[in-house]
Amino acid sequence: MDDRRNELKKIIMDTKTLPTLPGVINKLNTLSNDDKSSVQEMARIVSADQVLSARILRLANSPSYGFYRVSTISNAMILLGVNVVKSLALSSSIFEIMEKNSVGLWEHSLGTATAAGIIARKLAIPEVEEITTAGLLHDIGKVIIGLKCVEQMPEIRRMIKMDELYVIDAEKTVLDTDHAEVGGWLSKSWFLPEKLSEPIACHHNVIASEDHRVKTSVVHLADVLIKASGFGDSGDSYVPPVQQIAWETLKLDESLLKEIIVELEDKLVEVKNFSLELQVA
């Protein structure tokens, strides 16, 4: 078991790129080169895609540039330049087989990013864009597990269905690790700043986060709310409870939560349209 875990960790340390949806790449391909509006459109598409965002942040934080803490796509675009971002995005590989659940996970990530942004603004928490990015990337571990643990996936899926387990518990049983830990490893090896890596690694266990507990709590809550809304497909059939520590950290109450949910429901209609637009691209 331990071997499997170490083996997976080693694979992740060697992972330099991850595939994304064909529609995203096609859409980027159709944007013209020197048009202001297409630069904004490019930023919008890139910041809606967890894999592209992670790759661009990896580059912006890589030692060859010497920047230490680039945690948003808009800052990465300023520092790397539009041309670098575009050619990096277009050099992405795509999912060879378009799996239904990769679209579901893509929507879940985008939904969580949206929810995280709404929560952060509502609670007047600083660094909204960083929190949104952390929300977008929180399940990046699932992309890697889906890609690198092809043999174990049927068993994980069977346990989720038959034994009624959460994804994270099925992963732990079969892989001796889980997507949160795997995502944490990837964010370390891709030089992502801690304000992103900690929420990614701790979104299922908020108490384990030390330096960025507020951001982690927001991402955790956003993840739960999106699961409850039925938007996208995280792989879980059941909605996990909001962890007490997150509730306390954010000083939530029911009326605040209600306002957040109302705003989120409205916004998700727009997000769904955007997602459909990219899928037909």
Of positions 75, 152, 189, 229, contacts other proteins by CB under 8 A:
75
Residue type, 149: C
Asked if 71 and 86 touch (Cβ cutoff 8 Å), the reply is no
**Judged by CB under 8 A, does residue 37 bind other proteins?**
no
Place of tokens 């306002």: 259
Q: Toward other proteins, which CB reaches closer, 16 or 100?
A: 16
Of positions 18, 88, 167, 221, contacts other proteins by CB under 8 A:
88
Q: Toward other proteins, which CB reaches closer, 66 or 241?
A: 66
Asked if 194 and 62 touch (Cβ cutoff 8 Å), the reply is no
**Judged by CB under 8 A, does residue 30 bind other proteins?**
no
**Judged by CB under 8 A, does residue 94 bind other proteins?**
no
**Judged by CB under 8 A, does residue 21 bind other proteins?**
no
Q: Quick one: tokens of 157?
A: 């899926």
The widest CA-to-CA distance across the chain, in whole angstroms, is: 54
**Judged by CB under 8 A, does residue 65 bind other proteins?**
yes
Of positions 69, 148, 157, 267, contacts other proteins by CB under 8 A:
69
Contacts of 139 (CB under 8 A, 6+ apart): 50, 105, 108, 109, 112, 179, 183, 223, 234
Interacting span for other proteins (CB under 8 A) from 55-63, 96-104, 163-171, 239-247: 55-63
Place of tokens 């942040």: 57
**Judged by CB under 8 A, does residue 210 bind other proteins?**
no
Q: Toward other proteins, which CB reaches closer, 39 or 245?
A: 39
Give the helix ranges, DSSP H, for 230-253. 244-249
Contacts of 27 (CB under 8 A, 6+ apart): 45, 277, 278, 281
Minimum Å gap between C-beta 133 and other proteins is: 12
**Judged by CB under 8 A, does residue 62 bind other proteins?**
yes
- Radius of gyration (C-alpha) of the chain in whole angstroms: 18
Q: Is 203 helix (H, G, I), strand (E, B) or coil?
A: coil
Q: Toward other proteins, which CB reaches closer, 85 or 268?
A: 85
Q: Which residues bind other proteins (CB under 8 A)?
A: 16-17, 39, 55, 58-59, 62, 64-71, 74-75, 78-84, 87-88, 90-93, 126
